[in-house]
Structure 1
């Protein structure tokens, strides 16, 4: 169905592979919540040995210390906040497990994070995709220009991040692992 006023598809009729979008959002939230619980218990079980793993070495000790400080300072609030910070979303939960923050508070914070972050990003992404497709239907050249600008912005961000990491690695050669 279409909304008669705006000419935009009715959000309740949106579907992907035969399932309504809202159901995908619910399933995504449940899945992410499950992943967060696994992260916590892996960190809890392995403790600081996790820092010596390939993932821990890749993150670097300085970054791990910053995440630990955030968890110590903010506790469960840091768990909720990590949903909104891309680099922390999948590193802070296992650090919370290593530090053994209160699991009941961790569950509450991760549940609230899933309940807010998943719908906002899902429907936001849905809106951006449909908006771009609508623009493409009206003006393919303008839509192509928007796509080029977005791809260029992402490329610039990725390149800057890689350069910064390379400079940090060159300043701290003692953090790199050598095999004997």
Structure 2
């Protein structure tokens, strides 16, 4: 079975649900590759024979981001900063003390803007909901920033990748599935770069705190 034939057997609804679920779980505070799933799904939508709609990909990504962040907010509000101690033991690479310290400083300084722009940054994306709740940010303000950030991130990413996929299909009509592999690899590369920069930022903040 060819890759193209295999892709055509995937129901579009399954793609939408997968995007919403993974993005939602990541937004809840569990480190999953939400951005990579969104990028891959958006690229699939550029293949018109697959009947996957980029508009529904954007809707699914936006809904997952908003709902996941809101649930994360409620969890953070309920358990406070003690929650991050538990998460740190379970996910030390993502919720270590230095990462929490960096995220807390960013949220304390920037408030709603941290929630909005945090959607575009890997570290802050998984912290946004729980940390905003733990720090006692008023929910209406959080919801506005969360909704606008989630919609801008999901819609912007989907439209950009969809457009690139359409262009790639014109040039690689026989091998357009390669674009999916390339997109995943690029997404992984970007994630690794962001993680490395975040780790250096966390180390610099930790050093400042120790001084």
Task: Calculate the TM-score normalised by the size of structure 2.
Answer: 0.58
CA distance in 2, matches of 1:66, 1:161: 13
Counterpart position of 2:117: 81
Q: Which of 65, 77, 80 is the matching residue for 2:101? A: 65
Indicate the structure whose relative CO is greater, using CA pairs within 8 Å and at least 6 residues apart: 2
Does 1:23 pair with 2:60?
A: no
User: Retained in 2: the 8 A contact 1:39–1:94?
Assistant: yes
Counterpart position of 1:39: 72
CA distance in 2, matches of 1:97, 1:85: 19
The structure where helix makes up a greater share of residues is 2
User: Retained in 2: the 8 A contact 1:46–1:98?
Assistant: yes
CA shift at 1:107, angstroms?
Answer: 0.6
CA shift at 1:122, angstroms?
Answer: 0.9
For residues 82-123 of structure 1, what are the alpha-carbon distances to aligned partners after superposition, in whole Å with 9 as ceiling and x for unaligned? 012122111122111110111110011011112211110111
User: Retained in 2: the 8 A contact 1:79–1:106?
Assistant: yes
Which has the greater radius of gyration? 1
Does 1:97 pair with 2:130?
A: no
CA distance in 2, matches of 1:67, 1:44: 16
Q: Which consecutive residues of structure 1, in runs of 5 or more, have no partner in the other structure?
A: 1-12, 173-180
Which is worse superposed, 27-36 or 98-107?
A: 27-36
CA distance in 2, matches of 1:114, 1:123: 14
CA shift at 1:24, angstroms?
Answer: 3.0
Task: Calculate the TM-score normalised by the size of structure 1.
Answer: 0.66
